[in-house]
Chains A and B, each alone.
Chain A
Amino acid sequence: MSREDRVAGDEPVTDGGTVADESTGTGSGGSALARLRDREDFVVIASAAALVVFPFLLIDVLGAIGDVIGTSIGGYAGLPSLVLIYGIIVIGFNLLLGYTGLLSFGHAAFFGSAAYSAALFSQVVPSPILMIVAGTVVATLLAWPIGFVSIRRSGVYFAVLTLTFGQALYFWALGPGSWLTNGDNGFSGIEAHGLFVGALPLDAQLIPVFDSYTVMYAFASIVMLIAIWVGNRIINSPYGLIFEALGENEERVEFVGLNVFRYKLMAFVISAVFAGVGGAMFTIHEQYIHPTTALYWIQSGDFVIMTVLGGTGSLVGPVFGALVFEYVANVVSGVSLPVIGSIGSLWRFVLGAVFVFIVWVFPRGIYGAFADLGARITGGGGDGEEPAAADGGEAE
């Protein structure tokens, strides 16, 4: 029943609309793809398939290519999980930024508080799943008052308020709170004992031949799938439609008689839940947490960059942003080029160049670029005379 609503409700709004624009209103193939994309089980299954091949592509395939060209461009064992962890966070962040249109610059507060809570919790019960629960609960409880205050202002004031709360927490963790957080020395000694009461250590390999598939990765994949499923549920529900409407025009939503403040606060809290899950996962993955990583405002800025880079208009778009970001930060930064030498500290420069390029050429981010490409291919293959005339004509 609700699915009927969703499909019907989705037609006139953004996604279907832009696709239809590109393939100029025709293309039964295009709209079938669009419909498929809205199906919940399809989204989850397609994501699962992508998650299965992802480490293989990132580590083994890129590693093999790197061997051929003589530059190490493959990822390392921990990278796929790290990408997923940031992916989970930015899926939630996008609910706030991409749909509700609120730019928070303080999400590191939720990421970090969850990370520290999970770290502290691990000292008592070293169970990854319970660590996530503990971290998320703390992040959620923290999001409530911060959201309650910040939501009252909009635009740049909102951004600065969230930033301020985040920084306050950062300085607390570094100074007065160091009895709890171990301050600048960082919180180490976190030990998640593995899944099923330690029976499956997180760094164990799932498949003996491929060292890219660890238990940690499988664990992160499952959490990622849940995040995608929940995110999909939310944006395709009437509730999510209101988020989207808030992003479009707040006043109209108010005139319809909805409580804008309440919806915005919920969007804020929901995104904090995702950040909390990601923060706790980060602690489990890294087994170390430091105020600069967890709470400093640059971390919040990174979330924004990942989200915009990946594409704010879609559910999983930001995950691509997280992938590109972490790849550049962790792999490209270690590449040595023949003439230029080591990339090293230039990685932020490379990232900036990528960012400018993507945002310039594909305003809807990486996912938008893929979507356009997909629409063009299916449009050209379906019937579309228009696309064939447009680019096929030039090529031939």
Chain B
Amino acid sequence: MARDTTTLSRRDVLKTSGAAGAAGLTGLAGCAGIGGGGGDSEYPALGNYPVEGDEVVFGLNVPQSGSYSQEGEDELRGYDLAVDHLNNGGGWVDNWDGLSGEGVLDKTVTTVEGDTATDPDTARQSASRMISRDNAIMVTGGSSSGVAIAVQGLCQEENVIFQCCITHSNDTTGSECVRYSFREMFNAYMTGQALAPVLAEEYGEDLNFYQLYADYSWGQTQQASMEQFFTDVGGWNQIESVPTPLGTSDYSSYLSDVPRDETDVLVLNHYGLDAANSLPQAIEAGLDEDMEIVVPLYNRLMAEAASGSIGGIFGTADWNWQLEDDATQSFVEVYREEYDRAPSYGARIAYTQTLQYAAAVERAETFYPPEVIREMEGVEYDGAGLGAETMRACDHQAQRDVLVMQGATPEEQTEDKLLNIVSQTSRDDMGYACDAGPAAECELGEYGDE
């Protein structure tokens, strides 16, 4: 905490100027905003508050092109379902406290869409359009941690709440965290905590592991977390950890460098299309005969693309439709009715993050962002398919269970079922304190009403 005495860090500059900017913004909005805010204007104008008229706009900023576009489609399905339920009832809306099924604070929810192109700056410009032209009161979406980090920074400046969707990097709620952003998804650190004990038990102790990782924000924190927990928990020994450029299609040179006789476990820290390329290539090269392969973060795209190769391979997932609790079952049911398929975890996060925001607004009885943020901070909830969860106040990271998955063999695979749930690691057995792990680097910044 007392480390920043000598140099002026970027964050310090951001903090002071953020205050100045916020003051300027309120002053400005003062002349534009007041008048016609309904019974909702007990707070000064801030960001896109107050909401005028009978409608409130949510901005859905998802990848519709680029390497994660398939996940973007799934996210959109989740969002559309959430908005439909918020306006007309159904799904979790009927079970969550506060939500009425008649819009949010009696305003009908409408949406605007944008394409992040899986590119941080495109995502920012798209979010910027939603905020300044379409008056979005909340922006959500993203797949790729680079995008989430870029957009949440913008949202902090603009005093508009951002609900992260798929982002697994430690930095999102760690060194790059902001007050206006919340994350339901788990992170690489928690993947390490959940995966390491299972692997230690399955494969034994004192093994040598070798890592390949996608060379960007997520991959870097991912491989660091794997190293930390495999070393700590199983007493494993890392031979080497090799970066591969994001979007690589041919991994054969990296794979041929893996020392077959020394390596016991090969960790492929790749996601989406990258993993869909690297995993089958590793199998094709026969590496699975000499060692175990681990893919720390599964997703459906990768599981589908590599379906012939994933049999028996361990990894983690945010959530899975095969869980048997009531919330999961009811979500899967309404989703199937609408789209005729099982939801991926991207759809669940999208759905959950939207309802979380709406519920917080209902509890706060206003759209005024600082009050909504305070309502979300530290909230306990259990209707999101993963049992009891906490949206922690100190870093806005959900403390929740994590699923350890194992790929199904080609014979037992069906269209929806590619993975089997091995265990649901309880949040009590993992997580980290506010002054430890990624949270130690997090300074959330201003509410905007100080």
- B3-22 to A contact mask, C-beta < 8 Å, 1/0: 00000101101100110110
- B150: contacting residue among A59, A211, A290, CB under 8 A: A290
Which of chain A's residues has its CB closest to B23's CB? A201
Interchain CB contact under 8 A, A186 and B134: no
Chain A hits for B69, CB < 8 A: 345
Interchain CB contact under 8 A, A76 and B132: yes
Indicate if B286 sits at the interface (CB-CB under 8 A): no
**How many Å lie between the Cα of A59 and that of B119 in the bound state?**
25
Chain B hits for A333, CB < 8 A: 114-115, 126
Interchain CB contact under 8 A, A208 and B121: no
A201 smallest CB distance to B (angstroms):
5
**How many Å lie between the Cα of A188 and that of B64 in the bound state?**
24
Indicate if A189 sits at the interface (CB-CB under 8 A): yes
| Chain B, range 92-151, C-beta contacts under 8 Å to A | 112-115, 117, 119-122, 124-126, 128-130, 132-134, 146, 149-150
Chain A hits for B125, CB < 8 A: 78, 82, 286, 329-330
**A77-B133, A183-B217, A330-B125 as given contacts; A344 in contact with B64, CB under 8 Å:** yes
Interchain CB contact under 8 A, B146 and A184: yes
Indicate if A126 sits at the interface (CB-CB under 8 A): yes
Interchain CB contact under 8 A, B24 and A123: no
- A292: contacting residue among B8, B14, B112, B119, CB under 8 A: B119
**How many Å lie between the Cα of A182 and that of B69 in the bound state?**
25
Interchain CB contact under 8 A, A189 and B129: no
Chain B hits for A288, CB < 8 A: 120-121, 124, 150, 153-154
Indicate if B25 sits at the interface (CB-CB under 8 A): yes
**How many Å lie between the Cα of A201 and that of B243 in the bound state?**
42
A107 smallest CB distance to B (angstroms):
17
**A77-B132, A174-B215, A345-B117 as given contacts; A186 in contact with B17, CB under 8 Å:** no
Indicate if A205 sits at the interface (CB-CB under 8 A): yes
Indicate if B2 sits at the interface (CB-CB under 8 A): no
Chain A hits for B64, CB < 8 A: 342, 344-345
Which of chain B's residues has its CB closest to A341's CB? B113
Chain A hits for B13, CB < 8 A: 122-123, 126, 189, 191
**A292-B120, A330-B125 as given contacts; A345 in contact with B115, CB under 8 Å:** yes
**A191-B17, A288-B124 as given contacts; A175 in contact with B243, CB under 8 Å:** yes
- B378-416 to A contact mask, C-beta < 8 Å, 1/0: 000000000000000000000000000000000000000
**A286-B124, A288-B154, A336-B113 as given contacts; A72 in contact with B21, CB under 8 Å:** no
Indicate if A353 sits at the interface (CB-CB under 8 A): no
Interchain CB contact under 8 A, B133 and A75: yes
- B121: contacting residue among A74, A75, A175, A293, CB under 8 A: A293
**How many Å lie between the Cα of A76 and that of B128 in the bound state?**
8
| Chain A, range 267-319, C-beta contacts under 8 Å to B | 286-290, 292-293
Interchain CB contact under 8 A, A175 and B215: yes
**How many Å lie between the Cα of A333 and that of B122 in the bound state?**
11
Interchain CB contact under 8 A, B119 and A293: yes
Chain A hits for B17, CB < 8 A: 126, 191, 193
Indicate if B157 sits at the interface (CB-CB under 8 A): yes
- A186: contacting residue among B14, B66, B146, CB under 8 A: B146
Indicate if A105 sits at the interface (CB-CB under 8 A): no
Indicate if A347 sits at the interface (CB-CB under 8 A): yes
Chain B contact residues, majority secondary structure: helix
- A347: contacting residue among B115, B149, B215, CB under 8 A: B115
Interchain CB contact under 8 A, A123 and B10: yes
Chain A hits for B14, CB < 8 A: 188-189, 191
B129 smallest CB distance to A (angstroms):
5
Task: Give the interface size bracket for A toward B.
Answer: 35 or more
**How many Å lie between the Cα of A122 and that of B17 in the bound state?**
12
Which of chain A's residues has its CB closest to B157's CB? A287
**A82-B125, A290-B121, A345-B64 as given contacts; A189 in contact with B133, CB under 8 Å:** no
**How many Å lie between the Cα of A330 and that of B125 in the bound state?**
7
Interchain CB contact under 8 A, B129 and A334: yes
B390 smallest CB distance to A (angstroms):
26
- A189-201 to B contact mask, C-beta < 8 Å, 1/0: 1010100001001
Chain A hits for B283, CB < 8 A: none
B271 smallest CB distance to A (angstroms):
13
**How many Å lie between the Cα of A303 and that of B421 in the bound state?**
49
B3 smallest CB distance to A (angstroms):
17
Indicate if A348 sits at the interface (CB-CB under 8 A): yes
Chain B hits for A76, CB < 8 A: 128-129, 132-134
Indicate if B274 sits at the interface (CB-CB under 8 A): no
A243 smallest CB distance to B (angstroms):
32
Which of chain B's residues has its CB closest to A171's CB? B245
Chain B hits for A124, CB < 8 A: 8
Which of chain B's residues has its CB closest to A296's CB? B119
B414 smallest CB distance to A (angstroms):
29
Interchain CB contact under 8 A, A344 and B115: yes
Interchain CB contact under 8 A, A344 and B217: no
| Chain A, range 341-362, C-beta contacts under 8 Å to B | 342, 344-345, 347-348
B24 smallest CB distance to A (angstroms):
5
Chain B hits for A193, CB < 8 A: 17, 20
A330 smallest CB distance to B (angstroms):
5
Chain B hits for A59, CB < 8 A: 133
Chain B hits for A191, CB < 8 A: 13-14, 17-18, 21
- B146: contacting residue among A74, A122, A290, CB under 8 A: A290
Interchain CB contact under 8 A, A186 and B133: no
A226 smallest CB distance to B (angstroms):
25
| Chain A, range 146-203, C-beta contacts under 8 Å to B | 171, 174-175, 182-189, 191, 193, 198, 201, 203
Interchain CB contact under 8 A, A208 and B31: yes
Indicate if B65 sits at the interface (CB-CB under 8 A): yes
Chain A hits for B120, CB < 8 A: 186, 288, 290, 292-293
Chain B hits for A208, CB < 8 A: 31-32
Indicate if B434 sits at the interface (CB-CB under 8 A): no
Indicate if A331 sits at the interface (CB-CB under 8 A): yes
Which of chain A's residues has its CB closest to B112's CB? A334
Interchain CB contact under 8 A, B115 and A205: no
**A77-B132, A193-B17, A334-B113 as given contacts; A185 in contact with B171, CB under 8 Å:** yes
A75 smallest CB distance to B (angstroms):
7
**How many Å lie between the Cα of A95 and that of B128 in the bound state?**
32
Chain A hits for B119, CB < 8 A: 290, 292-293
Interchain CB contact under 8 A, B28 and A204: yes
Interchain CB contact under 8 A, B112 and A186: no
The CB with the most chain A CB atoms within 10 A, among B21, B115, B130, is that of B115
Interchain CB contact under 8 A, A72 and B133: yes
Please list 6 pairs of residues, one from A and one from B, whose beta carbons are closer than 8 Å in the complex, sorted by A's number: A126-B17, A175-B215, A185-B176, A208-B32, A288-B154, A330-B129
Q: Which 9 A-B pairs have the closest CB atoms?
A: A345-B65, A76-B133, A293-B121, A345-B64, A344-B64, A191-B17, A189-B14, A189-B10, A184-B216
20 additional A-B pairs beyond A286-B125, A288-B120, A342-B64, beta carbons within 8 Å, are: A76-B129, A76-B133, A123-B8, A123-B13, A126-B17, A182-B10, A186-B150, A188-B150, A191-B21, A198-B20, A203-B24, A204-B24, A286-B124, A290-B119, A292-B120, A334-B112, A334-B114, A345-B65, A345-B66, A345-B69
Q: Which residues of B contact A (CB under 8 A)?
A: 8, 10-11, 13-14, 17-18, 20-21, 24-25, 28, 31-32, 64-66, 69, 112-115, 117, 119-122, 124-126, 128-130, 132-134, 146, 149-150, 153-154, 157, 171, 175-176, 215-217, 220, 243, 245
